[in-house]
Amino acid sequence: MSSWSESWVGRQYNDIRGNAKWDAIKLVAGVVIAAAYLLLQKIRHLEYDWWVAGGLFALSIILFFYAGRTRKAGGQQLQNASTGKTNPAITVNPGQPFNAKEYFRISYYSPAVQAEIEARMRNAANQEQPNDREGFYLKFISVGLLVYNYDTIWNVIYRSQLEALLDINRNNGILPLARVRTHYDQAEAANTELYKKANVTLDAWLNFLIGRQLVIRHPSDMIEITVGGKDFLKYLVHWGREPRQRNF
């Protein structure tokens, strides 16, 4: 019986990693129950590997609380994505300078590992480009900023916003607002309560794409994808990311 429980816990853990966030709490609850049962069986029979079961039980408790936080974060994702807010110190938007003073002011400094990281970076520069260490640092920082920006967008963008961006790109890079709005209307109809609770209006939904400089809204209400918008789509292709992997 205990071997069945062990395999069941393993299957549920894999399911938690692969299933949608909204199902995580139910799955992890099952893991907690199975792990608790396994732990009791081990202790009851005084088996030498009871500590393994205990570890699984402790891990399942941690996953349970993590799943709860993940579910709660779903509503927060709606609010974050609709506002389009970004860290003011880190930007790759053309024409907007990098605010180094603000970046260093609000950044976290690690007393434990920062010196080690700096030493490793210095060694990497000496190995890769000993005659142009400044060029190495510049390339490393530029790639890092770009990835940070695109990762941040990916983490909060709605599926409907991404589908709208793809739709615009497939149609010579420009579409009327009425056509773009259909993506919002479909998502809002399918998630009415969530959109209402987070106050995700059409303007907020569209302003996220505009604020991240993925699209431009012309006075004629034509929505055009930007160079950055096209580059963001290339980034998604590079990492194999698709709209179905996002919510709403």
CB 224 within 8 A of CB 215: yes
191-227: pLDDT as tens digits:
999 888 888 999 999 999 999 999 999 999 999 999 9
Question: What is the pLDDT, as a whole number, of residue 38?
Answer: 54
pLDDT band at 114 (very low <50, low <70, confident <90, very high): confident
Task: Give the residue from 153, 174, 198 where a domain finishes.
Answer: 153
Within 10 angstroms of residue 185's Cβ, the number of other Cβ atoms is 11
Q: What percent of the chain has pLDDT over 90?
A: 36
15-41: pLDDT as tens digits:
444 444 445 545 555 555 555 555 555
Task: Give the residue from 25, 55, 73 where a domain finishes.
Answer: 73
Measured between alpha carbons, how far is 47 from 117 in angstroms, rounded to an integer? 44
Measured between alpha carbons, how far is 52 from 132 in angstroms, rounded to an integer? 52
Domain match, 189 and 239 both: yes
Measured between alpha carbons, how far is 185 from 182 in angstroms, rounded to an integer? 5
User: Where in the sequence is the domain holding 130, given as residue range(s)?
Assistant: 100-153
Say if residue 69's pLDDT is above 60. Answer: no
Q: What is the CATH number of the domain that holds 193?
A: 1.10.10
Domain match, 140 and 200 both: no
Asked if the structure places residue 106 within a domain, the reply is: yes
Question: What is the pLDDT, as a whole number, of residue 34?
Answer: 57
Helix, strand or coil for residue 179? helix
Domain match, 37 and 60 both: yes
Domain match, 168 and 237 both: yes
Asked if the structure places residue 95 within a domain, the reply is: no
137-184: pLDDT as tens digits:
888 888 888 888 899 999 999 999 999 999 999 999 999 999 999 999
**Which amino acid is present at 191?**
N
Please give the structure tokens belonging to residue 70. Answer: 């993940």
Q: For the chain, how many structural domains are there in total?
A: 3
Measured between alpha carbons, how far is 129 from 135 in angstroms, rounded to an integer? 8
Measured between alpha carbons, how far is 109 from 115 in angstroms, rounded to an integer? 10
Please give the structure tokens belonging to residue 103. Answer: 């970046």
Please give the structure tokens belonging to residue 227. Answer: 């160079």
Question: What is the pLDDT, as a whole number, of residue 63?
Answer: 52
Mean pLDDT, residues 89-113 taken together: 73
Bigger pLDDT: 193 or 104? Answer: 193
Domain match, 198 and 241 both: yes
**Which amino acid is present at 82?**
S
Task: Give the residue from 153, 187, 217 where a domain finishes.
Answer: 153
Domain match, 144 and 192 both: no
Asked if the structure places residue 94 within a domain, the reply is: no
CB 16 within 8 A of CB 67: yes
Say if residue 7's pLDDT is above 50. Answer: no
Place of tokens 């202790």: 43
Domain match, 210 and 147 both: no
Asked if the structure places residue 25 within a domain, the reply is: yes
Domain match, 18 and 54 both: yes
Say if residue 66's pLDDT is above 70. Answer: no
